[in-house]
């Protein structure tokens, strides 16, 4: 949400084929500090060539201090400044930080819950369960939960402490935070760097799905590809029921991005930074403007982690209300929570040396390998869980991070299906009632805040997520663990 509609690329971007899944954009124009690298098969690449995705990748390659190459992942499509599905790492001291490399929905991300239930257990209760979740978890544009309010001082603590703040207040189980990226809390959050407008927008939206491509799904495990890793993640058998939550930082994060894009536009002038596109507005990583943005962004990251935590709590409550039993009986354990839109200071191997870099992941999932200290203890032998949500009515994927990702993509892989069609075009072509009927004919129960969002989010408006996961697996930047398919969908 908030990203630009697709437009034709202003120039043809040359490509050199590396192999069937990797394509290099040479330094074909002045200003490119590094080449571009695109991870895609032929079909995905052809779609990228119909809009500004590759042109934006070549622009990102012009950022001061960028290392190795500007990366576009298999779900890549046009965004604001950076393509969505874009990754860039800039030098800690001599590089820049760009809000366009994170996006408007800061820490839009996914969390997955495993259960002890099978499809056979859930099917008789599926309709009331979907209805109860739809009632308990507000969805849609501007949605809010009326019986859950926080004060200004609560909000400041929440965005500083993240997931643990909610757990301490009974909205979660001990141990939930350990299965979140960053343990559900970026430590450099500073609410003083967040505008009052952002704070006011955030006060009423904790525990809400919002609209657009955000969803909550009751799913089943369709196929297991790596039984050992799946078991470590709590995915034990085909037919097992899981729950996936996909949402972000709502109006709070959107406002942080808007506020700091204006700050960065001034910084570009102040520091005399030459850019090919004003949407790449940035500031030197060691500047006060960049520091302020990172501290405000961290607040929005923590807000999103907390948002998904509250939603998870109400999902657990919904199971309790429908089944009349303690939710722990059904498992409902957090497998993992990953961020898709974030900038972080990380250490990576650059030309044989360990360097501190600002990794921008915009529509990209961290994919750290087995043995990495940032992977939770109980998953460390397998690698970090990677969660790739599909579009409405299609599969979603669990993969595992890999060393190849560290070598090729700064520990990153794809984040979803990636749009094929703008929202306005989808609404012109599809009718929400038809989409709902088609899904229910397949046995998928749908609860949505509006018919128009069903049209916007029609499966046909997205790329094939199975193809995206296949490219990731073939390249080796994350490997297949399990494929999940929906039983019930709750949409904003």
> What residues are annotated to the active site?
415
- Report the b/e string of 284-293 with b at 16+ CB within 10 A: bbebebbbbb
The Cβ-side half-sphere exposure at 47, using a 13 Å CA radius, reads 24
Neighbours of 262 (CB within 10 A): 11
| Integer Cα distance of 296 and 378 in angstroms | 31
Query: Which sign does the torsion angle of CA 332, 316, 303, 339 carry?
Result: positive
| Integer Cα distance of 391 and 386 in angstroms | 16
3-state secondary structure 34-66: CCEEEECCHHHHHHHCCCCHHHHHHHHCCCCCE
| Integer Cα distance of 406 and 185 in angstroms | 23
| Integer Cα distance of 326 and 347 in angstroms | 43
| Integer Cα distance of 246 and 231 in angstroms | 23
Tokens matching residue 384: 């970090």
Nearest to 302 by CA among 373, 357, 249, 223: 249
| Integer Cα distance of 49 and 34 in angstroms | 20
| Cβ atoms 103, 362 nearer than 8 A | yes
Neighbours of 189 (CB within 10 A): 24
DSSP letter string, 207-265: T---STT-EEEEEEEEEES-HHHHHHTT--STTEEEEEEEE--HHHHHHHHHHHHHHHH
Tokens matching residue 100: 């366009």
| Integer Cα distance of 323 and 332 in angstroms | 13
| Integer Cα distance of 157 and 240 in angstroms | 37
Q: How distant is the alpha carbon of residue 182 from its chain centre?
A: 14
């Amino acid at each position: 949400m908030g990203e630009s509609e697709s437009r034709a690329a202003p120039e043809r971007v040359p490509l050199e084929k590396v192999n069937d899944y990797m394509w290099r954009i040479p330094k074909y124009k002045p200003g490119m500090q590094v080449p571009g690298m695109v991870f895609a098969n032929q079909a995905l690449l052809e779609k990228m060539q119909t809009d500004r995705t590759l042109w934006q990748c070549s622009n990102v390659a012009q950022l001061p201090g960028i290392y190795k190459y500007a990366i576009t992942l298999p779900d890549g499509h046009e965004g604001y400044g950076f393509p969505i599905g874009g990754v860039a790492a800039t030098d800690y001291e001599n590089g820049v930080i760009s809000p366009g490399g994170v996006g408007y929905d800061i820490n839009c991300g996914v969390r997955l819950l495993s259960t002890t239930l099978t499809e056979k257990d859930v099917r008789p209760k599926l309709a009331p369960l979907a209805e109860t979740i739809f009632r308990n978890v507000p969805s849609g544009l501007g949605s809010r939960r009326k019986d859950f309010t926080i004060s200004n001082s609560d909000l400041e603590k929440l965005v500083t402490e993240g997931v643990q703040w909610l757990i301490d207040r009974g909205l979660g189980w001990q141990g939930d935070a350990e299965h979140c990226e960053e343990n559900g809390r970026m430590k450099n959050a500073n609410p003083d760097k967040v505008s009052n407008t952002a704070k006011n927008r955030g006060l009423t939206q904790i525990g809400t799905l919002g609209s657009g491509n955000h969803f909550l799904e009751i799913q089943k495990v369709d196929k297991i590809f790596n039984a050992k890793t799946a078991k470590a993640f709590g995915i034990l058998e085909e037919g097992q029921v899981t729950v996936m939550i996909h949402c972000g930082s709502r109006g709070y994060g959107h406002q942080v991005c808007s506020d700091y894009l204006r700050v960065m536009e001034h910084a570009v002038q102040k520091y005399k930074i030459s850019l090919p596109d004003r949407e790449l507005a940035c500031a030197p990583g060691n500047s006060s403007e960049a520091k302020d943005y990172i501290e405000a962004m961290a607040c929005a990251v923590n807000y999103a982690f907390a948002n998904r935590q509250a939603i998870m709590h109400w999902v657990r409550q919904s199971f309790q209300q429908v089944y009349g039993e303690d939710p722990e009986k059904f498992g409902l354990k957090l497998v993992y929570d990953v961020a898709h839109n974030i900038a972080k200071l990380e250490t990576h191997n650059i030309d044989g040396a360990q360097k501190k870099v600002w990794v921008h992941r915009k529509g990209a999932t961290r994919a750290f390998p087995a043995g990495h200290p940032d992977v939770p203890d109980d998953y460390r032998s397998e690698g970090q869980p990677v969660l790739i949500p599909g579009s409405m009515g299609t599969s979603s994927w669990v993969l595992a991070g890999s060393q190849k990702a560290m070598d090729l993509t700064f520990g990153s892989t794809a984040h979803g299906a990636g749009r094929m069609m703008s929202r306005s075009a989808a609404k012109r072509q599809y009718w929400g009632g038809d989409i709902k009927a088609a899904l229910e004919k397949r046995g998928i129960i749908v609860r949505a805040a509006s018919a128009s969002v069903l049209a916007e989010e029609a499966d046909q408006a997205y790329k094939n997520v199975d193809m995206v996961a296949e490219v990731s697996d073939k390249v080796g930047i994350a490997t297949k663990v399990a494929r999940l398919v929906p039983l019930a969908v709750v949409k904003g």
